[in-house]
Amino acid sequence: MSTFKTLDDLDSDQRVLVRLDLNSPVEGGEVQDNRRFERHAETVRELAEAGHRVVLMAHQGRPGDDDFVSLEQHADILAEHVDRDVQFVADTYGDDAIEAIESLESGEILLLENTRMCDDELPEEEPEEKAETEFVQALAPLFDAYVNDAYSAAHRSHASLVGFPLELPAYAGRVMQTEYEANSAMATREFDGQVTMVVGGTKATDVIDVMNNLGEKVDRFLLGGIAGELFLRAAGHDVGFDVDDMDLFDDQWEENHETIESLIEERGDQISLADDLAYEGPEGGRAEVNLEDLEEKDRPYLDVGADTIEAYEPVIHDSEAVFVKGALGLFEDERFSNGTVGVLRAISETECFSVVGGGDTSRAIEMYGLDEDDFGHVSIAGGAYIRALTGASLVGVEMLERN
């Protein structure tokens, strides 16, 4: 159970500083709407409707990257979800920001500029150091309360996440609450029946680390994606190698092959690997090959095959809890969506407790017409979800608990 205060504990008529995670895909300079806006809108609407003055902070991208852009577009997208005006000021804690904050009326909402455009935000330092920064010291006196709703960024010891709770009474927002509870379930709940984890995606190093830590908690691992191919490579199959200018396998193999080999040796009976794989056939359609018949080492494999899906589905149906981290194939291309969608559909058909994590993977739910309500929880967190699965604490959550 969480031990932090929530919006239920907030006094009325407060000047509230709220940290959201609106970090989003940016395509050709356009910020893409996504589940994060919809989820955070719930917290923001609740605060505005209660009559608080609501000032929002969030980050976008990392300095130097193409998606490191202003939050101006985020304000418009958020406004649509909140169904209220969201003002924007292109400043974090300077005179313009302070003026905009001070002129806010009850029930109004203001979004400040990308926190990572402020020098004090990023270097990961102790919360006490972050609390001493100019950024925190300038803003905190303008508020009565701080709300952290950014569960998906709570693993970062950045000023906007850990500095303010040392200066202001701190509360968890609604997203923080629900994400915390669902994502910590692997670590905090006891399940009577089978616990299954679907492991895929491109960040093999992260998920292999999780597998290494969760062998006692998880009964069955169903593998696909890049991690799945690396396990097949360790088992002696001619897959899991970078082809042409790919950069997915070889480095991750170097980093992880010893862990993979020991996992296969010690926990092989808990780990299910693909029997067949899909690739782009000569006519451009989906083609499949059984592992026994693999001849070509040089071709990219983009999904698990039909036999594998048929073998994974009953495992899901027999599970009491299923946790998903990563897609089983390149589902954004419909030809290679069968594995990911097959597994998600099987989860949606059962009554099991389920959490689907990872920003990319969870996109498959709406892309292929599945109903989010048929899943226990669809997380908007990536790195924080990975940490929560293994029971590692998140510094942003710790600060709420300390407060």
Ligand X SMILES: Nc1ncnc2c1ncn2[C@@H]1O[C@H](COP(=O)(O)OP(=O)(O)OP(=O)(O)O)[C@@H](O)[C@H]1O
Instruction: Select from 58, 115, 53 the least CA-distant residue to 84.
Output: 53
Judged by beta carbon, residue 21 or residue 167, the one nearer ligand 3PG is 21
Instruction: Select from 59, 41, 37, 47 the least CA-distant residue to 15.
Output: 47
Determine if residue 23 is labeled as part of a ligand binding site.
yes
Determine if residue 361 is labeled as part of a ligand binding site.
yes
Beta carbons within 8 Å of 354's beta carbon, 6+ residues apart? 321, 322, 323, 324, 347, 375, 376, 377
371-390 residues near ligand 3PG, rule: CB under 6 A: 382-383
Give the shortest CB-116-to-ligand 3PG separation in angstroms: 8
Q: Which of ligand X, ligand 3PG, none interacts with 21 (beta carbon under 5 to 8 A by kind)?
A: ligand 3PG
Question: Site map for ligand 3PG, 134-173, x if CB under 6 A?
Answer: ------------------xx--x-----------------
Which residue of 196, 202, 252, 354 would you call a contact of ligand X, by CB under 6 A? 202
Give the shortest CB-226-to-ligand 3PG separation in angstroms: 18
CA distances from 334 to 106, 286, 337, 364 (A): 47, 10, 5, 10
Judged by beta carbon, residue 315 or residue 355, the one nearer ligand 3PG is 355
Question: Site map for ligand X, 258-277, x if CB under 6 A?
Answer: --------------------
Rounded to an integer, what is the distance from CA 107 to the centroid of its chain? 30
Beta carbons within 8 Å of 167's beta carbon, 6+ residues apart? 131, 136, 137, 140, 146
Q: Classify burial at 3, counting beta carbons within 10 Å of its beta carbon; exposed 0-12, middle 13-18, buried 19 or more.
A: exposed
Give the shortest CB-124-to-ligand 3PG separation in angstroms: 10
Determine if residue 142 is labeled as part of a ligand binding site.
no
Work out the number of other CB atoms within 10 angstroms of the CB of residue 320: 15
Judged by beta carbon, residue 135 or residue 375, the one nearer ligand X is 375
Which residue of 19, 203, 233, 377 would you call a contact of ligand X, by CB under 6 A? 203
Work out the number of other CB atoms within 10 angstroms of the CB of residue 373: 7
Q: Which of ligand X, ligand 3PG, none interacts with 195 (beta carbon under 5 to 8 A by kind)?
A: none
Q: Which of ligand X, ligand 3PG, none interacts with 332 (beta carbon under 5 to 8 A by kind)?
A: ligand X
Determine if residue 363 is labeled as part of a ligand binding site.
no
Greatest pairwise CA separation for the chain in angstroms: 70
Specify the 3-state DSSP secondary structure of 147: strand
φ and ψ at 150, to 5 degrees? -90, 65
Determine if residue 156 is labeled as part of a ligand binding site.
yes
- With CB under 6 A as the contact rule, which of the stretches 66-74, 84-92, 195-203, 311-319 interacts with ligand X? 195-203
Half-sphere exposure of 59 (CA within 13 A, CB side): 21
Work out the number of other CB atoms within 10 angstroms of the CB of residue 66: 10
Q: Does 240 bind ligand X (CB under 6 A)?
A: no
Half-sphere exposure of 104 (CA within 13 A, CB side): 32
Question: Site map for ligand X, 104-143, x if CB under 6 A?
Answer: ----------------------------------------
Q: Which of ligand 3PG, ligand X, none interacts with 337 (beta carbon under 5 to 8 A by kind)?
A: none
342-361 residues near ligand X, rule: CB under 6 A: 358-361
Q: Does 165 bind ligand X (CB under 6 A)?
A: no
Beta carbons within 8 Å of 66's beta carbon, 6+ residues apart? 26
Question: Site map for ligand X, 299-328, x if CB under 6 A?
Answer: --xx----------------------xxx-
Where would I find the H helices in 157-291? 174-183, 185-188, 204-214, 225-234, 250-267
Distance, in Å, from the CA atom of 390 to the CA atom of 375, rounded to the nearest integer, reads 21
Q: Which residues bind ligand X (CB under 6 A)?
A: 200-203, 225-226, 301-302, 325-327, 329-332, 358-361, 382
Q: Which residues are annotated as a binding site for (2R)-3-phosphoglycerate?
A: 36, 116, 156
Q: Which residues bind ligand 3PG (CB under 6 A)?
A: 21, 23, 62, 152-153, 156, 382-383
